Structure 1
Amino acid sequence: PLLGHSDYGWQFVGSDIDSTAIAAATTIVKANGLSKAISVRQQGNRKQILLGLLDSSERFHASLCNPPFHASLEEAQRGSQRKWRALGKADPKR
């Protein structure tokens, strides 16, 4: 979104279910003076992607999605550890 707005003037709506992710995204948007160009919204229903998040009058040209790729935090951590081992390095978070 930062490049999309600065290079092309695009507007964005970012969303997540996680309050920490929302806080981080909001901080980045505000720090870059982009609050009018990038809206950050929290989805309260884990079973929905856009329902209840968007206003019926809003129109979009595209939708990008980065779904969770792991069933649990533990599975995600195991995947990260496996990738670091494959690189021959220690996990920097450990």
Structure 2
Amino acid sequence: MVKTLETFRGIDILSNNASILNESEWEKTVSINLLGVIKVTYLVLQHINKSDGGRGGVIVNTASIAGLGPLLHCPVYTAIKHGVVGFTQAIAVRKVFS
């Protein structure tokens, strides 16, 4: 992140797209697929928020069809992707109305 800020003098876009599907290692899956989205989103918001001196930007959080309905053989993955959708909706509304 520091190198990006130094090179480009800011952040314009974040694409949270990293994901794994591993039901047997569900804690690792939650950490990468949900906690990663949350951590990086909050980190980037600190740098793009205009009220904090940023120049604005865009954050794209990728879920999957599992964020809209269940994948029957992947309950952890389904829960995570629902979490990504809910987190994204809440952040969007908070940023618009705050």
TM-score (structure 1 length as normaliser): 0.32
Relative contact order (C-alpha < 8 Å, sep 6+): which is higher? 2
- Pair member with larger Rg: 1
Higher helix share: 2
